[in-house]
Structure 1
Amino acid sequence: MSEELDILKRALKREKAARKQAEQILEGKSRELYDLTQELKQLNEQLEDGLTKKTSELQGVFDNLVDAYVLMDISGNVVKMNNSAKNLFGYDIDQEKLNIVTLIYKEDYQYAMTSFQELVTKGSFSDYQARVYTKDKGVRTVHINASLIRNKNNQPVAAQGIVRDITYELEQNRVFDEQKKQLSVIVENSSLGIALTQFGKILQTNKAFQNFLGYTKEELIQKEVKDISLKEEYALSSENMEKMNNGKIDHFSVNKRYVRSDGSNVWAKTNVAAVRNPDKTIKYQVALIEDITDQLESEKQRDLLVKNLEKMNLELSEYAHVVSHDLKSPLRSIYALVNWIKEDYSSAFDKTGLGHLSMIERTLEKMETLINDILSYSRAGNKENLESQQIDLNTLISDIKNVVLIPDNTEVYCKQKLPVINGDKTRIQQVFQNLIGNAVMYMDKEKGQIEIDYSDQNTHYQFKIKDNGPGIKEQYHTKIFKMFESVGNHKNSTGIGLAIVKKIVELYEGKIWLESSPEKGTTFYFTLKK
C-alpha cells in the first residue's frame, strides 16, 4: 500500500511538474501572440496610413489632371469625373445625372457606337476622335483613350477614359495648313528665284529660279551651289556661308554670277538668310535670287551718260565763258562808239536822233545784262566751285537792301529773326536778291510790302517771300522758272533770274513754288537742305 502511495505521489509530482511546464509554455506562447498582435496592429496602422496617403495623392492627381477623366458604368452613366471634365463638358454629376450618350454629336453617333463595341470586345481603344456636345450646346472635338474595368470574375463593370480637347489644336493646324498652301503659292509664283540649301546642297527651288538657270527641279536638287557658281566668285559666298555656319552672321547679300544650263553667265543679287535649330545650329539656308543683268547694264549706261553729261556741262560752261567774253568785247566797242558819236556829233543830231542813240545804249546794256545772266545760270548748278560757310541771313538781307534800289514807298522786312545757315554765300544771295528784286521791280501799289519769313522743317529750312504786288496768273506758275520766260514786259527783266533761283535751290536739294493770283500778291516758297 505504501508502495502504491509512493507511486501515486510521484505521478502527481510529475503531473504537477508537467502542468507547470505547460503553463510556462502557454505563458511564453501567449506573450509571443501578444507581441505578434501588437506588431500586426502597428503594421495595419502603417498600411492604413499609407493607403490614406496614396489615396489622397491619387485624388490630387485625379483632380488636377490637365486632361478630362470620365468613369462610367457599363450602361454609360457617368459616376465620376475630374475638374477638367467638368470644365470641358459643363456638367457636375454631384448635382445632376449624366449619361455618356447625351454628349455624343448627332452625326458621329454610329461611329461612337462602333468604337464602344470595340471597347467591349477588345477591352480598350485609342486615338478615338469625334465631336461632342457640351451642356451649353457648344461643339468640341476631342481625342479619347478608353479601357474597361473588370471585377474579380473578369466581367466588365465599368469603363474609364482620358479625354483631351483638341478643338483649338485642329483649328491651328487648319490655319497652319492654309497658310502653308498660301506660302507655297506665293513662293512658286514669285518673280524672285528662291532656293533652299543645306551646307551647299540644293534641297528645293521655285519655278523662277529654275527658269532663271534653265534647269528642271529634278536637275537642280542633284547639284550643289558651287556647281552653278563661277569658281572665281564662289570663294566670297563660301566665306560668308562659313561665318553663317559658325553663328557669326544670320544673313548676307552678294552680287554674283550664276552658270546657266547652256554655259552662259547671268548676274544676280543673292540674299541668304539662315534658319536655325533651337540649339542655334544651321537647319538650312533660304536664298532669294534677283536677276540684275539688265540693271547692271542700265547702270553701266547711266554711268556712261553721267560722264558724258559732266563732260558736256564742262564744255558748256567753258563755251559760256568764251561766248560771254567774245560777245562782251564787241558790245563794249559799240557802246564806246555810240558815246563818241554822241560827244563828237551831238550837235548834228536832232532830238529824235539823240533818242535813237540813247535807245541803242539801253539795248547794249540789256544785252550785257543778258550775257551776265546766262553766265550766272551756267555757273549756278556747278558743284565743283561750291563753297560752304556760315551765313547770317539777317546780315545778308541788309546787304541786299543796299544793293537793290528800293523805292521809298516800298518796305522790305523780316517777320522774325532769320537763321544762320551753311552754304555758298554768293549763290544764296542770288536766290534772295532775285526774288526780292523781282518783287520790287513789279510792285504796283502805293504802299508796297515785301515780307520775308521762314520755318524749320527738320531736314530743311523753308523760306517764303511774300509781296502785295500785282500777282501772277496760275498759267504762269510753272512757266516763269524756265529760261527767257517772264511775266509782263519790264525793261530790266531778262527772263533768266527765276531759272537761276530754281537751279540753285535744287543744288541744295530743295524745291521752289509759289502761291499767287492777280491783284492778291505773290508768295514764293523755297526750301534749302540744312
Structure 2
Amino acid sequence: MSNEDVDILKRALQREKAARKQAENILEDKSLELYQITQELKETNEKLEYLVGKKESELQGVFDNLVDAYVLMDISGNVLEMNHAANQLFGYDISKDTLNVMTLIYKEDYQYAMNSFQELITKGSFSNYQARVYTKNNGIRTVHINASIIKDKNKNPIGAQGIVRDITEELLQKQIFEEQKKQLSVIVENSSLGIALTQGGKIIQTNKAFQNLLGYSEKELVKKEVKDISLKDEYVASEDNMKRVNDGEIDSFTVNKRYLKKDGNTLWAKTNVGAVRNHNGSVKYQVALIEDITEQLEFEKQREKLVTDLEKTNQELKDYAHIVSHDLKSPLRSIYALVNWIKEDYSTVFDKSGLDHLSMIEKTLEKMEVLINDILSYSSVSNKDNLKSKDIDLNRLINEIKSIVLIPEHIVVSSKKQLPIIYGDEIRIQQLFQNLIGNAVIYMDKEKGEIEIDHKDKKTHHLFSIKDNGIGIKKEYHEKIFKMFESVGDNENSSGIGLAIVKKIVDLYEGKIWLESTPDIGTTFYFTLKK
C-alpha cells in the first residue's frame, strides 16, 4: 500500500470517527429531549387525571345534590342510575330494587307516555312532558319531565336521561289560586262598592257597581283618566296624597270627593285609595273603593238641622218650664198667704168643717208646689252642663237621705253590705236614691216594712238594687211607671214624676233600670251606673 493510499485511509477513518461522534452527540441530545418530553407527558397525564377526577367529583356532587330528580335508563326503560332526589320522589333504591319506568306510568296516561317516548326516539329529546306517575311511598304524583337520548359513537340510541320535577303541590296551589281568583272576581263584580284599578292616573279596570254609579260602560271608562271623571279642584287636592303614596310615605288614604257622571250630574263618594306595589316598593297599581254617600250626606245635613232644632226646642222647653214654674209659684204663695190670713182673722167665725176645708186647701197648695218642683227637676236633671262630679260616699249619702225622707218607725232602711264610693254629681245621685227609697216608703203596706240596698261591682258599671216588701207592682205597669205622671194607685203623696226622674238620671250615666215584682210580696228595682 502506498503512502498515498495510507493517507486516504487515515482521512476516511477520521471522517468516520467524526461522523460517529456527531451521531453520538445527536443521539444524546434526542435522548435528553425524549426524556424531557416523557417527563412532561407524565406530568400532563397526572394533571389531566387530577382534573378528570376533580370534574367527576364535581359532577357527582351536582348529580347527588340536584334539587330535581335525575333518572338514567337504557333504551328498554330499565333505570340505571337515580340521584337522591329521584330516590325520595319515587321511593326506590336501584342498588336494591330493579326498576323499569313502565311500572311508574299512570294507567290513564299510558298512551300519552308512549307517544312522548316515540317523540324522544325520533327527535332526540322532548320538554314539557307532564303526566301522573305511581310512587312507592308518596302515592300518585304529577311530574314535569325534560328528557334527551344518549347515543353511542355510531349515533345509535343506547339510553335516555331525564330531569323530573314533582309539580303536584304546584298544580294544587295553582288550582286553589284560580279558584280564589274566581271567587274574588265574583265578589268584585257583585260588590255594592264601586271598584276601580288605575295606573298612573289612567283607568285600567272597573266593576259593574262603579260603571252603574257613573253611567259609563266598561269600554268607555278604560279610555278615560281619573281627572276626566273628577272635579278639577278636588282632583288637585288629592294629588298631594297620591304623591305621598308614590313616595312611599303612606300606602292608602281616604277622601270624600265628587265624581262627574256621564249625564253631567255629580255624586258624592267616599273613596279609599290603596297602593299595589312592586317588589322594589314602587307603585304598580292603585285600587280605589268608591261608596256613594250622596244620600248619606243629605241625611247628615238633615240630622244636623234636626239636632240643632231639638237643642233649641229643649232649651225653649227648659226656659218655659222655669218661667211657668215661677209664674205658678207666685199665685200659689199668694193663695197660701190668703188662707193663713183667713185662718188667723176668722178662726173664731169658721166652724170645724170650715177649718178642715181651709186645711185641705193648704195641703193641695203644698202638693201643687211639690209637683212644680218635681217638674223643674225633671226638666233640668239631664242637663250635662251643670254637672259637678266628684267622689261620693254612698254610705254617708244614704244616711243623709234617711234624715230627709220621712220614714215611719215601722220601716227599716238598711244596706246589705258596705256601699262603694262612686264618681258623679251628688245632687243627681241623691235624687236617684231618694226617689227610689221615698217611693218604697210611700207604697209600704206591711206592719214591718223592710227596704234593703245592695251593690255588685261589674267591669264597666255599678249594679245597684233597692228591695222592699211593699204592695208590689203588676207586670203591665213595669214600663209605664217610668213615664211622666204614671204611678201605681192614687197615693196622694206621689206626684207621678219621681220614677221618671230616676230613669233620666240612669240614662244620664249610660245605665239601665228595670224591676222584678210580685204583687202583695214586694218589689226590687235594679239599675246600673257607668263608672
Give the counterpart letter for 2:205 in structure 1.
Q
Shift in CA distance, 29/440, structure 1 to aligned 2, threshold 3 Å: same
Listed as ranges, the matches of 1:104-143 within 5 Å are 104-136=105-137, 138-143=139-144
Q: Aligned runs of 1:213-292 on 2, under 5 Å?
A: 213-292=214-293
The residue aligned with 2:415 is 413
1:79 CA drift (Å) = 0.5
Equivalent residue letter for 1:457: K
Residue 68 of structure 2 contacts residue 164 of structure 2 at CA under 8 Å; is this kept in 1? yes
Deviations 1:21-67 (CA, angstroms, capped at 9, x unpaired): 43343333223222222221121111111111111111111011011
In the superposition, the TM-score normalised over structure 2's length comes to 0.93
Map 1:325-336 to 2 at 5 A. Answer: 325-336=326-337
Question: CA, structure 1 residues 452+446, in 2 after alignment: closer, same or farther (shift >3 Å)?
Answer: same
How far the C-alpha of 1:129 sits from its partner, in A, is: 1.1
CA contact (8 A) 2:455 2:462 kept: no
Secondary structure at 1:66 match in 2 = coil
Could you tell me how far 1:150 is from its partner in structure 2? Answer: 0.8
Does residue 39 of structure 2 align to residue 38 of structure 1? yes
SS in 2 for 1:284: strand
Deviation at 1:426, TM superposition (A): 1.8
Query: Does the 8 A contact of 1:439 with 1:450 survive in 2?
Result: no
Give the secondary structure class of the aligned counterpart of 2:160. Answer: strand
Q: Which residue identity lines up with residue 400 of structure 1 in the other structure? A: I
For residue 160 of structure 1, what is the aligned residue in structure 2? 161
Aligned partners of 1:418 and 1:454 also within 8 Å: no
Cross-structure match for 1:455: 457
Residue 66 (structure 1) aligns with: 67
Does the Cα contact within 8 Å between 1:453 and 1:464 map onto a contact in 2? yes
- Correspondences of 1:161-240 after superposition (within 5 Å): 161-240=162-241
Distance 2:400 2:48 in 1: 111
Q: State the partner residue of 2:501.
A: 500
1:16 Cα shift? 4.5
Q: Report deviation, 1:89.
A: 1.1
Question: Could you say if the C-alpha distance between residues 323 and 132 of structure 1 is closer, same or farther in structure 2, counting changes exceeding 3 Å?
Answer: same
Deviation at 1:348, TM superposition (A): 4.9
2:468 & 2:11 partners in 1: Cα distance? 160
Q: Distance in 2 between matches of 1:519 and 1:95?
A: 96
One-letter amino acid of the counterpart of residue 448, structure 2: E
1:91 deviates by 1.3
Match of 1:510 in 2: 511
Q: Give the whole-Å Cα distance in 1 for the aligned partners of 2:474 and 2:80.
A: 94
- 2:377 alignment partner, SS class: helix
Q: Which amino acid aligns with 1:336?
A: A
- The answer for the alignment partner of 2:320 in structure 1 is 319
Deviation at 1:164, TM superposition (A): 0.8
Partner of 2:380 in structure 1?
Answer: 379
Q: Distance in 2 between matches of 1:526 and 1:141?
A: 69
Q: Distance in 2 between matches of 1:241 and 1:341?
A: 87
2:426, 2:236 → 1: CA distance?
52
Deviation of residue 345 (structure 1)? 4.2
Cα distance in 2, alignment partners of residues 259 and 17 from structure 1: 117
Q: Give the gaps of 5 or more residues in structure 2.
A: none
Does residue 51 of structure 1 match 2:52? Answer: yes
SS at match of 1:270: strand
Is the Cα contact below 8 Å between 1:436 and 1:450 reproduced in 2?
no
Give the 3 Å change call, closer, same or farther, for CA 470–11 of structure 1 in structure 2.
Answer: farther
Q: CA deviation at 1:148?
A: 0.6
- Superposed CA deviations along residues 360-412 of structure 1, whole A, max 9, x for unmatched, are 33222222211111111111122333334444444333332322233444133
Distance 1:178 1:44 in 2: 62
Matched letter for residue 457 of structure 2:
S
Give CA-to-partner distance per residue, 1:153-190, whole Å, 9 cap, x none.
11111111111111111111111111111111111111
Residue 231 of structure 2 aligns with an amino acid whose one-letter code is L
Match of 1:482 in 2: 483
Stretch deviating more after TM superposition (123-132 or 333-342): 333-342
For 1:210 and 1:19, locate their aligned partners in 2 and report how far apart those are by CA, in whole Å. Answer: 111
User: Do the aligned partners of 2:273 and 2:288 also contact (CA within 8 Å) in 1?
Assistant: yes
Q: Could you tell me how far 1:232 is from its partner in structure 2? A: 2.6
Are the counterparts in 2 of residues 450 and 468 from structure 1 also a CA contact under 8 Å? no
SS of equivalent residue, structure 2 residue 61: helix
CA deviations over 1:322-347 (Å, ceiling 9, x no partner): 22222223333333333344444445
- Structure 2 partner of 1:97: 98
* AA of the residue aligned to 2:237: L
Partner Cα distance (2:52, 2:512) in 1: 90
Contact 2:90 2:138 in 1 (8 A): no
CA displacement at 1:312 relative to structure 2: 1.3
- Runs of 4+ with >6 A deviation: none
Partners of 2:144 and 2:167 within 8 A in 1: yes
1:13 positional shift: 5.2
Contact 2:91 2:138 in 1 (8 A): no
1:81: which partner in 2?
Answer: 82
Q: Distance in 2 between matches of 1:137 and 1:212?
A: 54
Q: Is the 8 A contact 2:134 2:140 kept in 1?
A: yes
Partners of 2:346 and 2:248 in 1: CA distance: 96
> Partners in 1 of 2:523 and 2:353 — Cα distance?
40
Q: Secondary structure at the match of 1:457?
A: coil
Distance in 2, matches of 1:184 and 1:523, equals: 58
Q: 1:98 to 1:365 in 2, by over 3 A?
A: same
Q: Give the superposition deviation at 1:103.
A: 1.0
Report the secondary structure of 1:161's partner residue: strand
Secondary structure, counterpart of 2:452 in structure 1: strand
2:386 partner SS: coil
Shift of 1:462: 3.5
In the aligned structure 2, how far is the partner of 1:440 from the partner of 1:241?
A: 70
Q: 1:243, CA displacement in angstroms?
A: 1.7
Return the TM-score normalized by structure 1.
0.93
Range with greater deviation from structure 2 (379-388 or 255-264): 379-388
Is the contact between residue 72 and residue 79 of structure 2 (CA under 8 Å) also seen in structure 1? Answer: yes
Task: Please say which of residues 372-381 and 438-447 is displaced more in the overlay.
Answer: 438-447
Distance 1:367 1:202 in 2: 74
Sort the Cα spacing of 1:270 and 1:248 in 2 relative to 1 into closer, same or farther, 3 A.
same
2:363 aligns to what? 362
SS at match of 1:280: coil
Q: Is the 8 A contact 1:480 1:487 kept in 2?
A: yes
Q: How does 1:333-348 map to 2 (within 5 A)?
A: 333-348=334-349
Distance in 2, matches of 1:384 and 1:137, equals 76
* Residue 458 (structure 2) pairs with residue 434 (structure 1): no
254-263 vs 511-520, greater mean Cα deviation = 511-520
Q: 1:472 matched to which residue of 2?
A: 473
Deviation at 1:353, TM superposition (A): 4.5
Q: How far off its partner does 1:469 sit?
A: 4.3
Amino acid at match of 1:363: T
Deviation at 1:130? 1.1
For the residues of structure 2 that align with 1:413 and 1:235, how far apart are their CA atoms?
68
Which region of structure 1 is more displaced relative to structure 2, 434-443 or 220-229? 434-443
Could you tell me which runs of 5 or more consecutive residues in structure 1 were left unpaired when the two chains were aligned. none
Change (3 A) 1:324 1:137: closer
Aligned-pair CA distance for 1:420 = 4.1
